[in-house]
Structure 1
Amino acid sequence: MVTIIPEVLSVHELAQYHQHLSHAEWQDGAATAGGQAISVKQNRQIDPNSKLAQQLGDHILQVLAEQSRFISAALPLKILPPMFNSYQDGGTYGWHVDNAIRLIPNTAIRLRTDLSATLFLNNPEDYEGGELCIQDRYGEQKVKLKAGDMVLYPSTSLHQVSPVTKGQRLASFFWIESMVRDHELREVLFDLDQSIQQLTAERGATDTETVKLNAVYHRLIRLHADT
């Protein structure tokens, strides 16, 4: 399931990000590519160990902690610190699948990549190309969101970033290990939670049927969540 999380960052926050990123030191993205991906990856990234990357990444994690739609869709257990990339001058990332296991930098902690996330940092009209193309059971989906919006998709999906032929595409990207490993079950829980939130808004939190559904949701979480 491809899930859009709108307005993760505000216009004010984006302006601050652009100011910081305009002075960042960028390196060849191939430095962090795996064996399969290195031959198809043509972009630039900020050193994930740099102070700037860590500060901006920490801010994204703080914002996401208050994003109910993100929490509902991802049910996050661990999140790899966000990284930052830039595509321009024909930069692209050909078809690939993300590594199943990643090591959280400067730790011995391993993270299973259940979900991949891309947070767009500039608007679609700022560049040509640069679509995130994702192949899933519904076919190929092309994603190119406005600045501040984020997309979540299963890390098992074959995906690519099409060549940026004009302008610059800026984004943050990272991976999530979910408390619920099974993608289909996580989708069911997401749909159930969204319905509960809608019913709560319409009927109130004390409505009998809403309370029952909420209880069912949390029973399912207890049955299937790893913590």
Structure 2
Amino acid sequence: MMQHIPQVLTLEQVAAMRHALGRADWVDGRGTVGAQGAQVKQNRQLPENSPVARDLGQAVLAALAANPLYFAAVLPLRTVPPLFNSYAGGEHYGAHVDGAVRQVAGSALPLRTDVSCTLFLSDPEEYDGGELNVIDTYGEHEVKLPAGDMIVYPSSSVHKVQPVTRGERVCSFFWVQSMVRADARRSMLLELDQNIQSLRARLGDCAELVGLTSHYHNLLRQWAET
């Protein structure tokens, strides 16, 4: 399941992040991938231990904590601290799949990557190319969102970033271990949640809606790993 999460950040937050990122020191992005990924990756990233990356990443996580659609779609359990990348001058990232497990700094427990997240910090008009292409059983999906919007998709998907031929594409990206491992189950829970919210707005908490809400939580109770 791919899900667009609009307006994760305000325009003011995006502008403040871009200002901070414009003054930061970037490094070769190949340092955070394995041997296979390094063959197809050409971009720049903030170092994982960068104070700028840490502070901006905390701001991203704070914004997501207040976003109900993000929680409903991802059901986050543990999150890799957000990273930041930049593509310009033909830089790109060829077809690849994200590693299944990542080590989180400061934690003895590895994190299983269930959901990949890309938060756009550049508007589409600022650059040419740079589309995120996610490939699944239904074909290839092209994503290029407004600054402040985010796309989430299964980490098991093959995906790529097209070459940026004009301007600069700046994003935050990170991975999440979900309470619900299976993408199909997360999709069903999200659809049920969205229908419950729509019905509640129209009908209030009628008996039928209480029953549906009970059904949602009992499914989550059955499927969740915490």
Shared fold, TM over 0.5: yes
Letter in 2 for 1:67: N
SS at match of 2:36: coil
Provide Cα deviations, 1:42-99, integer angstroms capped at 9, x if missing partner: 0000011111100000111111011100000000110100000000000000000000
Structure-to-structure mapping, 1:11-26, within 5 angstroms? 11-26=11-26
> Mind listing any 5+ residue stretches in structure 1 that lack a counterpart?
none
Who is 1:55 aligned against?
Answer: 55
- Runs of 4 or more, structure 1, over 2 Å off, are none
* C-alpha distance in 1 between matches for 2:13 and 2:143: 22
SS at match of 2:53: helix
Who is 2:189 aligned against?
Answer: 189
Structure-to-structure mapping, 1:202-213, within 5 angstroms? 202-204=202-204, 206-213=205-212
Letter in 2 for 1:215: S
Letter in 2 for 1:214: T
Who is 2:225 aligned against?
Answer: 226
The alpha carbon displacement at 1:207 in A equals 1.2
The alpha carbon displacement at 1:107 in A equals 2.5
Provide Cα deviations, 1:2-32, integer angstroms capped at 9, x if missing partner: 1000000001101101110110100000111
* C-alpha distance in 1 between matches for 2:214 and 2:22: 48
Letter in 2 for 1:133: N
Letter in 2 for 1:154: P
Letter in 1 for 2:6: P
SS at match of 1:37: helix
The alpha carbon displacement at 1:109 in A equals 2.2
The alpha carbon displacement at 1:35 in A equals 1.6
Q: Give me the CA root mean square deviation.
A: 0.7
SS at match of 2:56: helix
- TM-score norm. by structure 2 comes to 0.99
The alpha carbon displacement at 1:143 in A equals 0.2
Who is 2:71 aligned against?
Answer: 71
Residue 10, structure 1, aligned to residue 13, structure 2: no
The alpha carbon displacement at 1:112 in A equals 0.4
Who is 1:28 aligned against?
Answer: 28
SS at match of 1:170: strand
* C-alpha distance in 1 between matches for 2:209 and 2:103: 40
* C-alpha distance in 1 between matches for 2:126 and 2:5: 20
Letter in 2 for 1:87: Y
Who is 2:149 aligned against?
Answer: 149
Who is 1:102 aligned against?
Answer: 102
- TM-score norm. by structure 1 comes to 0.98
Percentage of identical aligned residues: 50
* C-alpha distance in 2 between matches for 1:106 and 1:218: 32
Letter in 2 for 1:73: A
> Mind listing any 5+ residue stretches in structure 2 that lack a counterpart?
none
* C-alpha distance in 2 between matches for 1:4 and 1:217: 22
Who is 2:119 aligned against?
Answer: 119
